[in-house]
Amino acid sequence: MESVGSIIAYVVIALSIIIFSVLAVTTRKILRAATYLLFALFATAAIYFSLDYEFLGAVQIAVYAGGIVVLFVFSILLTSHPGDNSARLASKKRVSGLIAAIAMLLVSGYVLISRCIGVAEPAMQSIDMQKVGATLMGTGHGEYLLPFEAISVLLLACIIGGIVVARKR
């Protein structure tokens, strides 16, 4: 039996994930959608924290919430006038989206419920930051120097690509 505080925290996190996700895709103001996304990302970070992945939670907040959402906001401001509402959805389109989403929900939910029920939470242990760093820099089994380098090159390529694509000619 867990403490009431942690249950409350969980309920808040789960509800905010669900609610902000739904709002992010249903609101007609694009800037609001970005804001709801930000909250959903925060809630995700909270999940990471509650599962004792502090480093990951920090990365989530820094990169996603701090970096990507800011990018979104900038691009939204560049491409649309504030206060514009997007047009109402055609009902056909909404229906098809709902069908896809609900079918996804049903199939995956069925699988999850039939397969993953009753896996209890193990004892939490936070991960040593030193170990994270060593694993990221190591070259042995289960260590990630090569992907790390690949990602860094990818990021560089993306920076250059972004500049090349977006710059004014």
Partner 1 sequence: MESTMPVLILAIPLFTFLLLGLLGKFMQRGMAGVIGTSAMGITLVLSYITAFTYFFSGNPLFISAGGDRLQAVIFNTVWLQFTPDQIDAAGQIVKHGLAIKLGFLLDSISAMMLVVITTISFMVHLYSNGYMRDHHGVCEKGFQRFFAYLSLFSFSMLGLVVATNIFQMYIFWELVGASSYLLIGFYYTKPSAVSASKKAFIVTRFADLGFLIGILILSYYTGTFNFTELTSVPVEGLNDVYAVSAGTAEHIRSIFADSKAPLFMGASVMTWALVLIFMGGMGKSAMMPLHIWLPDAMEGPTPVSALIHAATMVVAGVYLVARLFPLFLMQTSALDIVTVVGAVTALYAAMVACAQIDIKRVLAFSTISQIAFMMVSLGVTRIAHTDALGHEVHEGLGYMASMFHLFTHAMFKALLFLGAGALIHAIGSNDYTAMHGLRKYMPVTHWTFLIGCLAIAGIIPFAGFFSKDEILTACFGHSTVWAIWMTLVAGLTAFYMFRLYFLIFWWKEHKVHGEHVPHDQPWTMTLPLIILAAISCVAGFVPFGNLVTWNGHPITGAGFFTNLDNLNWNVAVISLCVAIIGILVAMKMYRKENPLPEKMRSALPRLWDWCHHRFYWDELYMFITHKIIFDRVCKPIAWFDRHVIDGTMDSFATMTNRLSVAIKGLQSGRIQNYVWVYLLGALVLAVVTMLCVL
Partner 2 sequence: MEKTMLCYLIPSLIMFCCGVYGFITRKNMIAILISLELMLNSVDINFVVFNRFLFPGSMEGMFFTLFAIAIAAAETALAIAIIINVFRSVKNVDVEEVSKMKF
- Using the minimum distance from each CB to partner 1, give the nearer residue, 105 or 137: 105
Structure-token pair, residue 28: 């007609």
CB closer to partner 1 out of 107 and 151: 107
Burial of 40 (C-beta count, 10 Å sphere; 0-12/13-18/19+): buried
Give yes or no for a contact between 64 and 41, defined as CB atoms under 8 angstroms apart: yes
- Cβ nearer to partner 1, comparing 93 with 167: 93
Interhelix angle 69-79/30-50, rounded to 10 degrees, is 180
Minimum Å gap between C-beta 139 and partner 2 is 14
Q: Which does 117 bind (CB under 5 to 8 A by kind): partner 2, partner 1, none?
A: partner 2
Q: Does 103 engage in binding with partner 1 (CB under 8 A)? A: yes
Residues 31-90 touching partner 1, rule: CB under 8 A, are none
- CB 96 to partner 1: min, Å: 6
